[in-house]
A and B are shown apart, each in its own frame.
Chain A
Amino acid sequence: MNQDIDAASPKYLRGRYAIVGVGETEYTRGSGCTTRALGTRAVRAAIEDAGLTPADVDGMLSYSYNDSTPSPVIAGDLGIRLNFHMDVYGGGSSTEALVGIAIGVIEAGMCKTVVIYRAMNGFSQVRIGGTGSRGAQAGLSGDSLFTRGIGLMSAGQMFCQSFMRHMYDYGTTPEQVAHVKVIHSEHASNNPKAYYRKRVTVEDVLASRMIVKPLHLLDCCVETDNGTAIVVTRIDRARDCRHVPAVIQSVVGRCMKPRGDMHYQSGPISTVAGAYAKDILWPNAGVGPEDIDITGSYDAFTFTTLLQLEDYGFCRKGEGGDYVSNGTMRLGGRRPNNTSGGHLCEGYTHGIAMVIENVRQLRHDVDDSCPPGPDGRRQHTYDYREGGCRQVKDAELTANMGWAHPGMGSAMVMARGA
């Protein structure tokens, strides 16, 4: 399989593109504005962060569940004339996939610089899974008899069988899994923009009410309202931008297990799409999991982080419970995960915020509370106590893992540019 993928995906694109700008709005539960306004603010912030102007951008990509505002409107509000745009259906796993599409359309000569954004009133307007009151009352069609007809419509309800089977297959314990929330909450306490900045304990997670076994309330992420954006361009242009570029080494987009959305028919259900995606990610990046300094693992739930880290090879299959609880992924540990606090604590963005965080980490300029020095850059202390630093020292390589469901995922490796 590796050989086929290598033939289809020329390795010379490795290191040829970069993320040069990142931006977001405040994470709230009640933005008080439209997704149009959120998208516009995030895109403008990302362009400014790159040191570019709207006139430098001629491509745009967005993803949504029809709960956003399409890119021609956002571009129009910012006076951007587009040579390329596409608004894609979908949530988690989209970010990395769209980075791959951005590289492809720039490589094809269709445009020069692409902004990717996600704008969502994900708490106050449209909650994921159609779980708002209107969706929950709808009638049943042929296909939905198999889902809403059996009380299966939210993400937790869709994934719970895979999580439970992992506990059965490998002896993974609720205490081990709770560490994901604990560690991400520690990271969030050093992230002034995180929605939840309070540190929690394993006991807090296990004492929170059950939503859908094996998921307690604190095993689930925090739905928020937010706009988020990143800017992708070719490496030669990236070198003219404001910050050290986050150079893209490899991407995997919406890679799937067999049987598509009926993934529960196929293979061990405690194995997720990362088991396939890793065979594209690592050969194309020319590095392996052991080389990675920071991971960004989609934490819609505590379990999703565990399953991905395992199937991408950061530990042996079945040892994810130990990996997430042994301190490896804590700030100061061997390979911190979701240093922003992730979806469990910072806010829910369908994956793009974990990419934004790793871009800032690779710049060595993550937005924690460390005071700025004479050059205006933060002087990081690497003291990870509550309210302190969250910059990972000498971060050179990051891996992001995006998740749509157990059967579908995306991934990306980025390196600190020269």
Chain B
Amino acid sequence: MALDGEYLGMAVHIDDLDQENLAFYGFCGRHELRVQKCRACGLLRCPPTTACPFCAHADSNWVPVSGKGVVYSYGEVSHAIQGAFRRAAPYLLLLVELDEQRGLPGPHDGLRFQGNLADTRGELADAALVRSVGIGTRVKVVFRDMGEGLAMPLWMVDPDSPQPERPWRYPD
């Protein structure tokens, strides 16, 4: 069944044919981060795909992951294009590498999510919080509800992980 909601003033509609995204965002709606695990080769993958990118097998199980990881890279948007993000600028486009499956299947591969930096409630981070985060910052997932049964995964600074003294940031 389709999922409908609203996020930052934008209508959200996940079509009932879109089984993979329905599953992913449905788990997010329960505040669970789950990814597909291939039933043949056992590798995890994200965002959702319709077959295994590593062995082409069709079937997978949705397995929970810790939702903890490290900022692998980022960009910082000053000039927002979408109206919904204008009041949030500057906002971070994080590339988060999860703790699971680091360095697999290739030595430089990982299980990576693109997403925004948020505060502990899942609100887009303010300018001071944005300035505190860089490559190496430990983060964990936080969910922002978008409607009945679906939520957006965002990333907050992980208070339970040791943090680098100075995460790497673009020289200001």
Give chain A's interface residues, CB within 8 Å of chain B.
129, 131, 136-143, 145-154, 156-157, 160-165, 167-168, 173-174, 209-214, 258-259, 262, 264-269
Contact = CB atoms under 8 A, between A and B. Distances in A.
A151 B109 contact: no
Contacts of B45: 265
Nearest to A133: B83
Contact of A161 (B47, B91, B95, B152): B95
A140 B108 contact: no
Given A151-B88, A153-B82, A168-B73, A139 B13 contact: yes
Contacts of B79: 209-212
A163 B95 CA distance: 12
12 contacts: A137-B10, A139-B10, A141-B18, A142-B25, A156-B75, A160-B93, A161-B73, A210-B76, A210-B79, A213-B76, A265-B109, A265-B112
B168 A168 contact: yes
Contacts of A143: 18, 21
B116 A150 contact: yes
Nearest to B116: A150
A324 to B, nearest CB: 18
B10 A154 contact: no
Leading 7 A-B pairs by shortest Cβ distance: A160-B75, A142-B21, A139-B11, A213-B76, A151-B85, A161-B73, A165-B73
Given A136-B83, A212-B78, A213-B170, A165 B135 contact: yes
A267 B109 CA distance: 5
Interface of B: 7, 10-15, 18, 20-22, 25, 45, 47, 53, 72-85, 88, 90-91, 93, 95, 106, 108-112, 114-116, 135, 152, 168, 170-171
Contact of A136 (B25, B72, B82, B90): B82
B67 to A, nearest CB: 16
B7 A165 contact: no
A164 B170 CA distance: 7
Contacts of B13: 139-141
A156 B75 CA distance: 9
Contacts of B111: 265
Contacts of A141: 13-15, 18, 21
B85 to A, nearest CB: 4
A151 B116 contact: yes
Contact of A259 (B53, B77, B82, B116): B53
A141 B4 CA distance: 9
A138 B82 CA distance: 9
B72 A165 contact: yes
Given A140-B11, A165-B72, A265-B112, A151 B77 contact: yes
A137 B10 CA distance: 7
A267 B106 contact: yes
A269 B72 CA distance: 10
A175 B146 CA distance: 42
Contact of A264 (B10, B77, B95): B95
A353 to B, nearest CB: 25
Given A150-B114, A210-B79, 18 more contacts: A136-B82, A137-B83, A138-B10, A142-B15, A146-B114, A150-B115, A151-B80, A151-B82, A151-B85, A153-B82, A157-B77, A161-B93, A161-B114, A164-B73, A167-B170, A168-B168, A213-B90, A269-B95
